[in-house]
């Protein structure tokens, strides 16, 4: 049985950052993950270029039943602190929209930084590790895995949620929380694209890949940001944001011309051919 100070379950962005921080504080740390590669969601985020921070992030942008935690967390480690970290590693990045920072080349560059920090901190990473059982006894936590058992003083669960099951996302973290007595609120999709019915999808097929400024409204909340037509439905910042507030069965309104008056909209519609091509649709939607 391996005795360590900290066991971190999950080798995503949060788990790697947590493990490196604990390692730098002199703790003996091991990171466990069931996948064959660390940071898989990092590699796919931001279209493969990872939108790794937003300089305008503030407590008001976070949804939580405990808003004070967010205030404390952002004060202790801000967006600028993370930018300082990647600057030390000479990461090339770009600002796509005000405050939104992306890797200039590939998300692999950012993952390499996190893995380097993990190595420098002295923390150990174990992949292809299946968790069999977690026991709490005499102030210690025992994590039993297919690679042996680990006893630790502190257990960090950084497994994420149910967002992308095809990449191995499970409800394992929720199961651990229940085991130690936490109440689990009902889960639902959030910060996700919206898929549409087959008949509507065929009508909008030619618009796939086109982005336009829209206003999405649900539950009395509106986001006026870009929307992207996809081969399955719609996505983009406005859609991802509104899914935080929309509840199944409620109305969701999408205004594709929020900056046009009714007269201007009618004028545009009258000048647009009935059977629009992809090029003409692009002109129309960008005007709105």
User: What is the per-residue burial (b if ≥16 Cβ within 10 Å, else e) of 99-132?
Assistant: ebbbbeeebebbbebbbebbeebebbbbeebebe
> Quick one: which H or E segment has residue 228?
strand 221-229
Q: Are residues 48 and 115 in the same domain?
A: yes
Q: Does residue 252 fall inside a structural domain?
A: yes
Q: Are residues 109 and 200 in the same domain?
A: no
Percentage of the chain beyond pLDDT 90 is: 58
User: What is the total count of domains within the chain?
Assistant: 2
Q: Which of 179, 202, 236 is the last residue of a domain?
A: 179
Q: Are residues 199 and 83 in the same domain?
A: no
Q: Does residue 8 fall inside a structural domain?
A: yes
DSSP string of 91-154, one letter each residue: --EEESSTTEEEESS-HHHHHHHHHHHHHHHT-EEE-S--EEEEEEETTEEEEEEBTEEEEESE
Q: Which of 129, 145, 179 is the last residue of a domain?
A: 179
CATH number assigned to the domain comprising residue 254? 2.40.30.10
Q: Are residues 159 and 258 in the same domain?
A: no
> What integer best gives the mean pLDDT of the chain?
88
Using only C-alpha atoms, the chain has a radius of gyration, in whole angstroms, of: 23
Q: Are residues 23 and 146 in the same domain?
A: yes
Q: Are residues 93 and 146 in the same domain?
A: yes
Task: With cut-offs at 50, 70 and 90, classify the pLDDT of residue 68.
Answer: confident
The per-residue pLDDT for range 198-254, each reduced to its tens digit, is 888 888 888 899 999 999 999 999 999 999 999 889 999 899 999 999 988 899 999
Q: pTM value?
A: 0.81
- Report how far residue 177's alpha carbon sits from residue 198's, in angstroms, rounded to the nearest whole number: 39
Q: Does residue 216 fall inside a structural domain?
A: yes
Q: Are residues 165 and 31 in the same domain?
A: yes
Q: Are residues 216 and 244 in the same domain?
A: yes
Q: Write out the residue range of the structural domain in which residue 26 sits.
A: 2-179
Q: Are residues 147 and 269 in the same domain?
A: no
pLDDT of residue 47: 84
Task: With cut-offs at 50, 70 and 90, classify the pLDDT of residue 274.
Answer: low
């Amino acid at each position: 049985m391996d005795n360590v100070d900290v066991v971190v379950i999950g080798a995503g962005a949060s788990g790697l950052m947590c493990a490196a921080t604990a390692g730098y504080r002199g703790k003996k740390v091991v990171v466990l993950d069931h996948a064959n590669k660390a940071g898989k969601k990092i590699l796919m985020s931001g279209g493969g270029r990872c939108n790794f921070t937003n300089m305008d992030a503030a407590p008001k942008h976070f949804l939580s039943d405990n808003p004070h935690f967010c205030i404390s967390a952002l004060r202790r480690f801000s967006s600028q602190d993370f930018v300082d970290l990647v600057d030390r590693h000479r990461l090339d990045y770009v600002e796509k929209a005000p405050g939104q920072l992306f890797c200039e080349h590939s998300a692999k560059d950012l993952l390499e930084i996190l893995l380097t920090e993990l190595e420098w901190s002295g923390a150990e990473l174990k992949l292809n590790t299946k968790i069999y059982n977690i026991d709490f006894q005499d102030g210690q936590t025992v994590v039993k895995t297919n690679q042996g058992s680990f006893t630790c003083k502190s257990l960090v669960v950084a497994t994420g949620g149910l967002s992308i099951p095809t990449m191995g996302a499970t409800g394992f973290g929720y199961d651990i929380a229940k085991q130690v007595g936490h109440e689990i609120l009902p889960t639902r999709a959030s910060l996700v694209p919206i898929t549409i019915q087959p008949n509507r999808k065929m009508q909008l097929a030619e618009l796939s890949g086109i982005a336009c400024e829209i206003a999405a409204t649900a539950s009395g909340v509106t986001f006026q940001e870009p929307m992207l037509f996809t081969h399955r439905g719609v996505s983009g910042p406005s859609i991802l944001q509104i899914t935080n507030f929309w509840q199944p069965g409620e109305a969701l309104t999408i205004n594709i011309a929020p900056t046009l008056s009714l007269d201007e909209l009618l004028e545009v519609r009258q000048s647009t051919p009935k059977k629009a091509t992809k090029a003409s649709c692009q002109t129309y939607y960008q005007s709105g």
